[in-house]
Chains A and B, each alone.
Chain A
Amino acid sequence: MWLRRKLFIVSDNDKIIDEVTSSDYKYGFSTEIDSDTIDPGLSEDVIRQISLKKDEPQWMTDWRLDAYKVWKEMDEPDWANVSYSKPDFQNISYYSAVKKKQYDSLDEVDPELLKTFEKLGISLDEQKRLSGVAMDIVVDSVSVATTFKKTLKEKGIIFCSMSEAIKEHPELVKKHLGTVIPKSDNYYAALNSAVFTDGSFCYIPNGVRCPMELSTYFRINEAGTGQFERTLLIADKGSYVSYLEGCTAPQRDENQLHAAVVELIAMDDSEIKYSTVQNWFPGDSNGKGGVFNFVTKRGICETQAKISWTQVETGSAVTWKYPSCILKGDNSIGEFYSVALTNNFQQADTGTKMLHLGSNTKSTIISKGISAGRSHNSYRGLVRMGPRAKNARNFSQCDSLLMGDKCGAHTFPYIEVKNSTAKTEHEATTSKIGEDQIFYCQQRGLNPEAAIALIVNGYCKDVLNQLPMEFAVEAQKLLAISLEGSVG
């Protein structure tokens, strides 16, 4: 979520200030909105309209139409271990400005939400921004954005919105879009390819080490969120980038269905670290409402390249997400570190695919599931060692932690080995938080909730350690908050 407003990064200086200071207004409540919305429903015509409104070149329009054709022939998948009423795709508006309620002061905002902000340690200014209170953006954040932009430019790094990339860097987009996740990959990826409205684009040139965590600095300027987001990140030979997506603050959204696509391309000797904190509205404690989050994320590693996915998933009513790595080049490395927490009536089916094609490829999977309430939490993973994957190695560790006896934890690990020198190692545990652990902590002065938060954080340590420092601290608090009320 933090990075959704990165549009202004590569625009001109004046435009930056303009966008930063007017962003909420522009996308918020102005009367222009109505004229900027396309009627619900999906057809070739709607897709042409989207493309037209976005002022896209013909090749992009054709690409979308092609995806739509593919999608029409597909059926919505139902193999995941989740159940929900399927969205009506003719009842969704595929192009609309995000409606954000605007308040005059924090007093008008849902006190529950404010309480959560406070627990997360989010500053007053940011609380206002996140909950949509009208405010002047502090000058500080503008200057930070400007400095940031200058640094990136000097290094030749491109970091902009997808819309802008289509216009400004068509050769890069044309060459790479859909190469890791083809239009026909799956139902939601096809849908996204047809109707995506925006997202992020990032290119790190040959040999460049991106000097900052991309997106951290833009937390302050984030505004609307996309329903069908499209992200493409390209790390050229020998480059390095660490990318952050998401936000610990709870995200409410009128849109129920979210179907994002993220493609990563790691060329020879490059490294991409992609971290996500997902906290979309999970529905209330009775299981009403909440976001359906159907995400396709995949990266491809060329020779000696490395991609590591780290995710902390606490939100959404239904999550369906498998960040994966195609280890194409020899000696390439894929990593997946995940914490998925479900409470109340949430359902999560998440995991990864590690596809070892090259020789000496290595992958590590650390998955920590936490289920509370009446939720269901599944790990689904595939490790495939192809015929050429000589001496390939995988280590998988999938742990489940259960809180209470009404929730469920499931693991579906699939392993296919086609090369006799390849080795995989799989460990799995299921545990409960012990009464004796909680009593021990209480004896040392912690209340039961603090005790559980501590024990859960310890359980997730191997994943949280992968996150950039400040993100990790917030993620710890987020886990504690998400479990509130789950102890008797």
Chain B
Amino acid sequence: MLEIVNLHASIDNKVILNGINLKINLGEVHAIMGPNGSGKSTLSNVIAGHDGYDIISGDILFDGDSVLDFPPEKRAHLGLFLSFQYPVEIPGITVSNFIRTALNEIRKAKGEESLGASPMLKLMREKMKVLEMDKGFLSRSLNEGFSGGEKKRNEIFQMAMLEPKMAILDETDSGLDIDALRVVANGVNALRSDRNAFIVITHYQRLLDYIIPDFVHVLFNGKIVKSGGKELAIELEKRGYDWIKKEQK
């Protein structure tokens, strides 16, 4: 469903993505690991359509069609979701208002009717229960004053509400305490089906004990330098990245 073909991208004339190839089918979970600064968040942003990057060459296909010319919102309407590594604050806008607006924009784009206030609230309550979130969250300003872990949980809450076809989780685990990690992972697992797919970016094998990936890729210097099954993550946890860096030389 998502296919990245020989993607090269730069920012301020600095090449960050250096020929990425990745194919993701429905029902699959792909983990992407790699040292700091290797280009993981850049890849997420480029897939999501951030206009701060120059696409030098290559393509991004969604269900077989190129989305390179699509603005971010249009990609979101197709079912793409990015859980941000650093979610932004929007003062004065409550979590529930934001999610309601987002969900209804997406429904509108699909030609569906907008969801009324009470079914919306009911849906929010259901999803919050799975994620063990307090109801008070709904009336708080989006991400304003949220702890690191609360922000991440809120990202997953939004994902659960929007039910994307393709979700990218950029270091959703960092900042979560041990219990929160389990809860959030359960939330993700509850959404897994053969009608969607996930990219899980993480530094720690621990998350992958909960969200078991079908594939693990290692990103280094803007390139996927190694791919394997879930055992690759275990090996990385033991050995670090040095041996991979050496292999590259």
Number of residues on chain A facing chain B (CB within 8 A): 23
Q: Is the beta-carbon distance between A450 and B105 smaller than 8 angstroms?
A: yes
Contact of B92 among A436, A444, A446, A458 (CB under 8 A): A458
Taking the complex as formed, is A435 at the interface, i.e. its CB lies under 8 A from any CB of chain B? yes
Q: With the chains together, A471 CA to B125 CA distance in Å?
A: 30
A458→B91 contact, CB < 8 A: yes
Residue of B nearest to A460 (CB): B92
Shortest Cβ distance from B51 into chain A, in angstroms? 8
Q: Give B142-160 as 1s and 0s: 1 = Cβ < 8 Å from A's Cβ atoms.
A: 1000000000000000100
The distance in angstroms between the C-alpha atoms of A278 and B67, with both chains bound, is 43
Q: Which of A443, A457, A461, A462 has the most CB of B within 10 A?
A: A443
Task: Give the distance to chain A from B60, nearest Cβ to Cβ, in Å.
Answer: 15
Return the chain B residue nearest A456 by Cβ: B92
User: B93 near A: Cβ within 8 Å?
Assistant: yes
Residue of B nearest to A439 (CB): B50
Taking A454-B98, A455-B93, A458-B141 as contacts, is the C-beta distance between A444 and B88 under 8 angstroms? no
By the criterion CB–CB under 8 Å, are B90 and A439 in contact? no
Contact indicator A442/B91 (Cβ below 8 Å): no
Complex CA–CA separation, A458 to B90 (angstroms):
7
A121 contacts across to B, CB distance below 8 A? none
B158 contact set on A, CB distance < 8 A = 444
Task: Knowing A446-B73, A457-B93, say if A436 contacts B88 (CB, 8 Å).
Answer: yes
* Residue from A443, A458, A459 in contact with B48 in the complex, judged by beta carbons closer than 8 Å: A443
Give Cα distance in the complex from A447 to B106, angstroms.
10
Q: Could you tell me if A458 and B93 are in contact, using CB atoms closer than 8 angstroms?
A: yes
Do A440 and B84 contact each other (CB < 8 Å), given the known contacts A435-B52, A454-B101?
Answer: yes
Q: Note all chain A residues with C-beta closer than 8 A to B87.
A: 440
A437 CB within 8 Å of chain B:
yes
With A434-B88, A436-B88, A439-B72 in contact, do A446 and B101 touch (Cβ < 8 Å)?
yes
Mask: chain B, 72-90; 1 = CB below 8 Å from A; 0 = not: 1100110001101001111
A445 lies within 8 A of chain B by Cβ: yes
Q: Are B109 and A445 in contact (CB under 8 A)?
A: yes
Q: Would B71 and A444 count as touching, CB distance under 8 A?
A: no
Query: Could you tell me if B162 and A444 are in contact, using CB atoms closer than 8 angstroms?
Result: yes
Contact status A442-B90, CB under 8 Å: no
Q: Are A442 and B71 in contact (CB under 8 A)?
A: yes
Q: Which residues of B contact A437 (CB under 8 A)?
A: 88-90
Question: CA separation between A53 and B120, bound complex, in Å?
Answer: 59
Which residues of A (443-488) have their CB < 8 Å from a CB of B? 443-448, 450, 454-455, 457-462
Closest Cβ–Cβ distance, residue B145 to chain A (whole Å): 14
Most buried by A among B49, B87, B88, B89: B88
Task: Give the A-binding residues of B (Cβ under 8 A).
Answer: 48-50, 52, 71-73, 76-77, 81-82, 84, 87-93, 98, 101-103, 105-106, 109, 141-142, 158, 162
A contact set with B: CB distance below 8 Å: 434-437, 439-448, 450, 454-455, 457-462
Q: Could you show 22 A-B contacts with beta carbons less than 8 Å apart?
A: A434-B88, A437-B88, A437-B89, A439-B48, A439-B50, A440-B88, A443-B48, A443-B72, A443-B73, A444-B76, A444-B98, A444-B158, A444-B162, A445-B109, A446-B101, A447-B71, A448-B71, A448-B73, A450-B105, A454-B90, A458-B93, A461-B93
5 nearest A-B residue pairs (beta carbon) = A458-B92, A461-B92, A442-B72, A458-B93, A444-B102
